[in-house]
Structure 1
Amino acid sequence: MIELDGAHGEGGGQLARLAVALGALTGKPLRLANVRANRARPGLAAQHLAAVRALAGLCDARCAGLELRSTAFSFAPRRRPEAGELRVDVGTAGSATLVLQALVPVLLAARAPSRVVVSGGTDVRQAPTWDYFHEVLLRLLGRMGVGVRASVVRRGYYPRGGGEVVVELEPSAPRPLVFEEKPGPWRIAGAAHVANLPLSVAERMRDAAALALHETLDMRVEALARGAAMGTGGAITLWAESEAGLLGASRVAERGVRAEALGAAAGSELAADLAAGAALDMHAADQVLVYMAMAKGRSSFTTRAVSSHARTAIWLLEQFLPAQFSVAPEDALWRVTVSPPGS
């Protein structure tokens, strides 16, 4: 039984989701204490509980302590993860993309194709927007030889949730991802949408992002039709792609925050990564680590900052998998390298 302290590092939900995913992936039992200890409301929230219960079903795990706001639980897998049809209903506006972050690496190790339907929030704060998940993370996985098909049935926002997304994937082993050269030239694109708001709100987000980037953006801008979203909301997501890098930035519409402020924040964040010459943005940097650790070979990339989420993920991955991690300064950037044991 691997004993883990949920207060380690960032001490939030990512630690709990990734720990259980790694337990399911490796078959190693674990006990997690102090769940989300560093958050204002500690313990398992609805989205964490939904992810853990879904993973438990995939590997027939024996669990104790799985309940809303629980601050400690155990998870003991009893079989290799099984593929098939899976439906996960968060039941709130909890993030569908965060649930998928836990499920996708585990289902890649299953013996057959899988289809997952997740209901919840598609574009909520403190989580990847749906477009970031689709246009940044899944593009990176594609470069690692992992084919994941994803579509959004309906958008959902805080506080109602009600969104629905579908992901289909084949079992496969990720290939190493190596970004050694300075990235560029970049192809910059994006998407801005609103639901039950005027189209001009999305256009203002786009224009502010373009101003921050000093670019004329190739962006999809839309006001969603009735039935394409539950509730009122919106988001802007930007991405930049080159042969040696992939960057993203996003913001979610908030009551009381001007559309121009959201667009400018996303644009400025992407502009800073572009100016620094980073291969991955700091959010992608922590999300791809699990796939790099699963790959049979050396992976490497640069990023402008190594977040507490990334450092916590590295600490956790080292508890379950034999991969070796190196984080070292390189000019004004950080180089992260993931190597097989003994290399």
Structure 2
Amino acid sequence: MSSPSEPSGNDSPVVIDGSRGEGGGQILRTALSLSLLTGRGFRMTKIRANRDKPGLRPQHLKAVEAAAQLGGEVVGAEVGSRELVFRPRPYAARDMKLDIGTAGSAALVLQTLHLPLAMRAESAVRVVINGGTFNPKAPAFPFLDETWRAHMSRLGLSVSLAMPAAGFYPRGGGRLDAWIEPGRPAAKAIPDRGRMRRIRGVAGVCNLRDDIAARIRDRALMQLDDSGLNSDIEIDVVRWPGPGQGAAIAIWAEHQDAVPATFVGLGERGKPAEAVADEAVEELLDFEAVEPAAMDPHSADQVLLPLALADGPSSYSVNIVTEHLRTNAATIRQFLDREITIEESSDRGVPARVTIA
């Protein structure tokens, strides 16, 4: 097999059905990353065809524009577009400054660029992205900083993060700073997470009353106490700077043999503070119910690409297999000669196993 970060010798463009599987923006972001790294162009049709607002949204468009700015030509790059052609060209990693212009997810744009930058950089590069840092259906900053960053470090990809300003829907205006070190992902076997060490978290607000954060924290503490988890639990109340208003909670479950797993609840207009806490606690308890699982569902999706780009076999366990994970595996297979298998058990208490051969 040729090195995943070098052209494979197959110059034919990859044809991708954007409505396949979960049919969201992850297909496009993975394709952009792999196109830059392999030198293979792609044509995508039916972009986000299954969504309420089909086609490219501003955050997807910004990921496309950022990839083109780094090293590519694109046809069909406009909001609402359902078809796109991307042709990569040779590039050198460099500092980048990007503005989504809406509350669209800065994290998803960063993850599109991360591997193409890290695997081609000769020295550290800085990426600054303005947009949303707390988004539904996208990694919130606490997840990025505590979980995604730790996974990347474990795989040999060092990255530092900062959030000078929080960005919530609909105002946006957040800022995400990333310092990306040169690196190549290493293969890894991660069979289980080990015993629980502690649970910690933050309940925070941006330009809202402190008592809202306190209510979120108190509800989470009560729910966790009632759950019977035998662990030390500590949740702090914080204020995030930023131009808009918002509330959120992030809870980290720390285990002996795994990076912290992050579970986030987001506030929105008309949503009780207690429901914000319940959202995060419910996800955490679902994770803990599958005792050996090494990864939460969001991490399982996001480590798949770097492990597929590593030399050698990898494997890990996850408590729930999402359509995101299946779709990401299918997209990776279109670019790389890697065998990716996902084995699920009919027993809900037994984790699924992901293997990259």
Q: Decide: shared fold, TM above 0.5.
A: yes
Q: Please tell me whether residue 242 in structure 1 is matched to residue 251 in structure 2.
A: no
Q: Which shifted more, 233-242 or 176-185?
A: 176-185
1:194-239 Cα offsets, whole Å, 9 max, x none, are 0111112112212222222226532332123xxx211110211111
For residue 214 of structure 2, what is the amino acid of its counterpart? Answer: E
> CA contact under 8 A between 1:302 and 1:333: conserved in structure 2?
no
Q: Please tell me whether residue 43 in structure 1 is matched to residue 58 in structure 2.
A: no
- Summarize the Cα distance change of 1:64–1:47 in structure 2 as closer, same or farther, 3 Å threshold: same
For residue 243 of structure 2, what is the amino acid of its counterpart? Answer: M
CA distance in 2, matches of 1:294, 1:335: 21
CA distance in 1, matches of 2:152, 2:256: 14
Q: Please tell me whether residue 124 in structure 1 is matched to residue 120 in structure 2.
A: no
- Summarize the Cα distance change of 1:69–1:238 in structure 2 as closer, same or farther, 3 Å threshold: same
**1:193 paired residue number:** 204
> CA contact under 8 A between 2:321 and 2:352: conserved in structure 1?
no
CA distance in 2, matches of 1:190, 1:25: 36
Structure 2 counterparts to residues 197-208 of structure 1, below 5 A: 197-208=208-219
Structure 2 counterparts to residues 69-88 of structure 1, below 5 A: 69-79=80-90, 81-88=91-98
Q: CA deviation at 1:162?
A: 0.6
> CA contact under 8 A between 1:327 and 1:334: conserved in structure 2?
no
For residue 56 of structure 2, what is the amino acid of its counterpart? Answer: L
> CA contact under 8 A between 1:24 and 1:56: conserved in structure 2?
no
For residue 173 of structure 1, what is the amino acid of its counterpart? Answer: R
Count matched residues: 335
- Summarize the Cα distance change of 1:124–1:209 in structure 2 as closer, same or farther, 3 Å threshold: same
DSSP 3-state at the match of 1:230:
coil
**1:2 paired residue number:** 14
Q: Which shifted more, 306-315 or 239-248?
A: 239-248
**1:17 paired residue number:** 29
**1:307 paired residue number:** 322
Query: Which of these residues, 264, 279, 282, is aligned with residue 268 of structure 1?
Result: 282
What TM-score results when the alignment is normalised by the length of structure 1?
0.93
Q: CA deviation at 1:182?
A: 5.3
> CA contact under 8 A between 2:342 and 2:355: conserved in structure 1?
no
Structure 2 counterparts to residues 165-184 of structure 1, below 5 A: 165-181=176-192, 183-184=194-195
CA distance in 2, matches of 1:83, 1:22: 15
> CA contact under 8 A between 2:92 and 2:120: conserved in structure 1?
yes
- Summarize the Cα distance change of 1:182–1:237 in structure 2 as closer, same or farther, 3 Å threshold: closer
CA distance in 2, matches of 1:249, 1:175: 26
For residue 42 of structure 1, what is the amino acid of its counterpart? Answer: P
What residue ranges of structure 2 are gaps of 5+ in the alignment? 1-12, 226-230
Q: Please tell me whether residue 26 in structure 1 is matched to residue 41 in structure 2.
A: no
> CA contact under 8 A between 2:265 and 2:278: conserved in structure 1?
no
CA distance in 2, matches of 1:220, 1:140: 24
**2:228 paired residue number:** none
Q: Please tell me whether residue 143 in structure 1 is matched to residue 154 in structure 2.
A: yes
**1:316 paired residue number:** 331
DSSP 3-state at the match of 1:296:
coil
What residue ranges of structure 1 are gaps of 5+ in the alignment? none
DSSP 3-state at the match of 2:166:
strand
CA distance in 2, matches of 1:182, 1:216: 17
Q: CA deviation at 1:244?
A: 2.7
For residue 218 of structure 1, what is the amino acid of its counterpart? Answer: E
**1:230 paired residue number:** 243
CA distance in 1, matches of 2:334, 2:104: 28
Q: Please tell me whether residue 110 in structure 1 is matched to residue 117 in structure 2.
A: no
Q: Which shifted more, 122-131 or 29-38?
A: 122-131
CA distance in 1, matches of 2:351, 2:269: 35
Q: CA deviation at 1:337?
A: 3.0
CA distance in 2, matches of 1:155, 1:84: 25
Q: Percent identity?
A: 37
CA distance in 2, matches of 1:260, 1:51: 34
CA distance in 1, matches of 2:340, 2:32: 20
For residue 288 of structure 1, what is the amino acid of its counterpart? Answer: V
**1:297 paired residue number:** 312
> CA contact under 8 A between 2:201 and 2:234: conserved in structure 1?
yes
CA distance in 2, matches of 1:153, 1:3: 39
> CA contact under 8 A between 1:213 and 1:268: conserved in structure 2?
no
What TM-score results when the alignment is normalised by the length of structure 2?
0.90
Q: CA deviation at 1:140?
A: 1.1
- Summarize the Cα distance change of 1:193–1:23 in structure 2 as closer, same or farther, 3 Å threshold: same
**1:337 paired residue number:** 354
Q: What is the RMSD computed on CA atoms of the aligned residues?
A: 1.5
- Summarize the Cα distance change of 1:243–1:217 in structure 2 as closer, same or farther, 3 Å threshold: closer
